[in-house]
Structure 1
Amino acid sequence: MTTMPDRAGTVAEAEAEAEAEADANVPGTATVGVLLAHAAALVREQKLDAADELLVRILQATPGDPDALHYQGLLRHAQGRGDESIALIGRSLSLKPAQSGAWNNLGNLLVEIGRIDDAMRAYENSVSFASGGDEGADALSNIASLERKKGHWHAAERVSRRAIELRPDFSEAWYNLSIALMEQGRIHESVIANSRAVLLQPRNLSARSQVIRALELLGEREQAIGMYREWLAEAPGHPVVSHLLAACEGHAPARASDGYVETVFDSYAGSFDASLEKLHYRAPELVARAVQEMHGSPAANLAVVDAGCGTGLCAPLLRPWAAHLAGCDLSVGMLQRAEQRGGYDVLHKAELTHYLDTQPARFDLVASADTLCYFGDLHEVLAAAARALRPEGGVVFTVEAMAGGQDDFTLEGSGRYRHAAAHVQACLAAAGFGAIRIEPIVPRREAGQDVQGWLASARLCAH
């Protein structure tokens, strides 16, 4: 998260300081530093127009002031003008490289747009220019976060410990350490680190869910359920907590709620692609292979929808078959990344079943990589897919495989569903599909283990 330098607590405090300097006959009524403190306070209090006006005045009086450019860059980010934000902070750093906080803020902005390698270099510069105390702790924790998302667990552990040495009460660093330990199989140590993160920041969603997940893995299911219930009492109706409690209790709603999907994936969007690299993620290429088996060589003659498009990883793989390629997702953050990646003719924010129901006989192909694992019962969504297809249109998708048992599907502690092949087959047939093919796949790895899945393809039966 980008942060304004803490130069003043509130607008009132900054104004009081400016007035004091004016009374002391300081040249120019108030120093640039005091005015910047005033601007920072305005941004923190969400008075963005006033902050913008003040920063413009400062830069008119002192063109090229590095601190003012840094502040203006952060303001542009708060205004949703990301490209300008990065350019302004970059200009500030070119004029005054020794700004640890500005390098860290630049790294955060670069992560948001998926420039992970550039972000890593920015964080490293932040550490290099740290002037002492705990100034480098934020950047170290951010480096650890990127390392763990790349699957570099030993590096993530090492850097997290450095951040904790600088700032022992740093919740985020304790959380990063807990993940690194968990992925190395050091579950007891992970629980201790994660408990520390939760104690320091009880509302840290990621840390709190991770410590409960660790208890599940240790077989402490009743304790995990108790912690979820306690958490839900503090945050009634929270979509993520409600969903994970259902999984822990062995209940399985028909699908993950809209609130769950939006909350999880909006927060995940900036680092999604980097996270998948460490998982050896293959779902998009497996879907593309099935499309080729169904339609042969690409001829750019199909109307295709990428159902649950995420950040757009399937776009370059589906595009050769598509005269028109649409993407649909529930997460605004994911759609923003998909738009940046390009390849789609149109993108829609919508719940998948509802979207397909609004597109009768619109497509020749519905493709979906790693999305239907957030649905339990597949009857409704596959029936909607059938209605969205033209005669003899096809569907291709992946789900995670359920190992044995009598159930059609089960909700895992990860928040994702696993499906029996028989359920996939039955839902496709009920929706009017024939030529059904379901094959075992390994769409990715997690915690050093292959994740088992199904790759399904089918065509609408001719009438």
Structure 2
Amino acid sequence: MAGSRLSLRSRGEPPALRLSRQADALAAAGDAAAAAGLYVRALAIDPTLAGTHNNHGNALRVLGRLDEAAAAYRAAIARGLDEGMAHYNLASLLRQAERHGEADDIFRQALALRPCHAEAWNNWGNLMRDLERYGDAAMGYRHALALRPDWSDAHDNLGAVLYLLHEQGGEKEAAALARWWRRDHPMNPLARHIGAAIAGEAADARAPDDYVRQTFDLFAEEFDRKLADLDYRAPALLAGLLSDESPVPSGTLDVLDAGCGTGLCAAFLRPYARHLTGVDLSEGMLERADARGLYDDLQAVELVAFLASRPKSFDLAVAADVFCYFGALEDVFSAAGEALRPGGLLVFTVEELEPEDGRPYRVATHGRYAHTESYVRAALASAGWAPTRCDRDRLRFESGAPVNGLAVLAERPTRGV
């Protein structure tokens, strides 16, 4: 990542400045190698051009010549560029080179010179996270968000580091920071949801749509690989339930893959379907689902609203690790009941909450809800579903520990329809 570039201005056009401007244009066009050559020529004529040293450092960094780039940034500072830009660029480069102690010193100088530089606070937070100083990292992100309240990257970073702080024994500090986060950013979906989980406060009845969309758009590209690393088993468990129920797929059903993500369930659903529909909030996930070539229809839409708009349209609905983003399940179960035909099947997983917790469901620090088996059964019954299978099994690993859940098959009764 290139550093911040300075704009060179002069009333005249001395040769060194003219070459610098030409080099800036080449750098902006993506030709770092040519730009670096012109910067060298400009500085040979006038080595006092502090901004040119800084911009030369940016070009060298793009070319991977990190030691030379560091020398260029130091030259810019030595030549009087002291408003914090070159310090920030140098500190970012030193972090990239894993020279953490030096990077910390230079970041602090940059912030002393330019305390309103949100990017510097955020990247100093990243450095603190590299060093596993999670409380300091959170403070860096806090400063960045005070300057840029709507910056999604800083919110993502803060949520991730508060989770790490909490999981590694800093529960009280993480909770205090999470309460601040929720107080100062009440409309941010990540602050509302993850902040509540880490603070131990009451969360919404379901994860905010913007939070879910943002989370899965962010991880869409690497989603399948990450789940493979976690030994993710939800699609296989649901495939097993369906196989037990219908050993020979007929290919005659209208099938809904609810919260389809990248399409991990599509391969086992396709043999059952005459028409396979996938819905998900994340456009990024749907792009990858579409690439599988197994769906007849894919829609970026909120699940409950979609179900409500499709009365008696499906024979089978599958939701692999979708209801873990719902706390209260009554509305989604009722909507599914309206969308499925009599005799239709709903097959899904949830993460299991032990009854000793005393609550029907709760949101964990990673942002997903867990549910007790008794609550799942009661919510199904209240929506008119008859659960026929409710198997306990491991869904995946998380931080090396198994995450246990329920794989459920429920039927829409034909009586009274």
- Counting only pairs closer than 5 Å after superposition, residues 314-325 of structure 1 correspond to structure 2 as 314-325=265-276
- 1:31 & 1:341 partners in 2: Cα distance? 48
**Structure 2, unaligned stretches of length 5 or more?**
35-58, 72-94, 108-119, 146-150
Report what 2:366 is aligned to.
414
The answer as to whether partners of 1:311 and 1:334 remain within 8 angstroms in 2 is yes
Match runs of 1:26-45 below 5 Å: 33=23, 35-37=25-27
Instruction: Kindly name which structure, 1 or 2, has the bigger radius of gyration based on alpha carbons.
Output: 2
Give the TM-score normalised by structure 2.
0.70
Aligned residue number for residue 433 of structure 1: 385
Q: Paired residue for 1:355?
A: 306
* Cα distance in 2 for residues equivalent to 1:166 and 1:413: 33
Tell me, yes or no, if the aligned pair for 1:161 and 1:173 is still in contact at 8 Å. Answer: no
Which residue in 1 is equivalent to 2:166?
216
Structure 1 residue identity aligned to 2:369 = Y
Displacement, 1:218? 5.4
Match of 1:162 in 2: 98
SS in 2 for 1:255: coil
After superposition, residues 202-351 of structure 1 pair within 5 angstroms as 204-217=154-167, 220-247=170-197, 248-351=199-302
- How many residues align? The count is 344
Indicate the residue corresponding to 2:83 in structure 1.
none
Cα distance change on mapping 1:348 and 1:216 into 2, 3 Å: same
1:400: which partner in 2?
Answer: 351
Deviations 1:18-45 (A, max 9, x none): x9499x999xxx99745445657xxxxx
Give the equivalent residue in structure 2 for 1:150.
none
Show the counterpart of 1:191: 134
Q: TM-score, normalised by structure 1?
A: 0.64
- Displacement of 1:222: 4.4
Give the conservation status (yes or no) of the 8 Å contact 2:66–2:97: no
Aligned counterparts of 2:202 and 2:265: Cα–Cα separation in 1 = 32
Structure 2 residue matching 1:392: 3-state secondary structure: strand
One-letter amino acid of the counterpart of residue 162, structure 1: E
Q: Root-mean-square deviation (CA), in Å?
A: 3.7
C-alpha change, 1:209 and 1:323, in structure 2 (3 Å) is same
Structure 1 SS opposite 2:245:
helix
Deviations 1:81-109 (A, max 9, x none): xxxxxxxxxxxxxxxxxx9977xxxxxxx
CA contact (8 A) 1:134 1:167 kept: no
Measure the CA separation in 2 of the matches of 1:212 and 1:335.
29
Select which of 420, 443, 462 maps to 2:395: 443
Q: Secondary structure at the match of 2:327?
A: coil
Q: Secondary structure at the match of 2:254?
A: strand
Q: Which moved more, 1:205-214 or 1:345-354?
A: 205-214
Note closer, same or farther for the CA distance 1:173–1:296 as it changes in structure 2 (3 Å cut): farther
Alpha-carbon offset, residue 451 of structure 1: 0.3
Range 231-240 or range 272-281, more displaced: 231-240
Task: Output the amino acid matched with 2:134.
Answer: V
Cα distance change, pair 302–196 in 1 and its aligned pair in 2 (3 A): same
User: Structure 1's 227 and 454: CA in aligned 2 closer, same or farther, altered over 3 A?
Assistant: same
- Contact kept? 1:379, 1:431, Cα under 8 Å: yes
Are the counterparts in 1 of residues 32 and 60 from structure 2 also a CA contact under 8 Å? no
- Aligned identity (percent) is 34
